[in-house]
Copies of this chain bind each other. A is one copy, B any other.
Amino acid sequence: MSFHTISVKTNRQTEFVDISSRVAAEIQASGLKNGMVLVYCPHTTAGLTINENADPDVQRDMLMELNKIVPFQDGYAHLEGNSAAHIKATMTGLSVTIPVQNGRMTLGTWQGIYFCEYDGPRSRKVHIQTIRES
């Protein structure tokens, strides 16, 4: 159906940015009624996930714990110094796929789509692709 790229500006080293309304706007612009949307992160030190959009403490706890599980420094060889960000990207995943019904994503009540910055702050891109049910 359609393919668009949006820009996402991050402001911290690690940060979750809610992009749900921007994905919804692309679906509306595409005219898609029934099918799915593929949201894709073309970077290697950031990812995409779906999680709670109500209490901001959830995002803070998630980042705190991910940063504890994968320490920023841990004897990594990669000279750029951001190996932890690469690992977190793979643990989170580089894309999310969501069903679309009657022009709306079937997100749960508390679900939001988050761009997961693990090596910011940076200017990032996200691809949004709709696929029609056929």
Residues of A within 8 A of B (CB): 1-3, 34-36, 38, 40-44, 49-52, 55, 57-58, 60-62, 64-66, 68-70, 74-80, 83-84, 86-87, 89-99, 101, 106-111, 125, 127, 129-134
- Which residues on B sit within 8 Å (CB–CB) of A80? 55
In angstroms, Cα B77 to Cα A57, docked, is 6
- Which residues on B sit within 8 Å (CB–CB) of A34? 3
Instruction: Tell me which of B76, B90, B110 contacts A44 (CB under 8 A).
Output: B110
B87 contacts A62, C-beta separation under 8 Å: yes
Given contacts A1-B133, A133-B132, contact A60 B86 (CB under 8 A): no
A93 to chain B, nearest CB (A): 6
B40 contacts A51, C-beta separation under 8 Å: no
- Which residues on B sit within 8 Å (CB–CB) of A129? 36, 99, 133
Given contacts A49-B94, A50-B94, contact A111 B42 (CB under 8 A): yes
Q: Looking across the interface, which residue of chain B has its beta carbon closest to that of A34?
A: B3
In angstroms, Cα B131 to Cα A97, docked, is 12
B87 contacts A66, C-beta separation under 8 Å: yes
A–B complex contacts, Cβ < 8 Å, 22 sampled: A1-B133, A1-B134, A36-B38, A38-B97, A44-B52, A44-B108, A44-B111, A49-B90, A50-B94, A51-B89, A51-B90, A55-B79, A57-B76, A61-B83, A61-B87, A65-B76, A65-B87, A66-B87, A94-B111, A99-B129, A131-B134, A132-B134
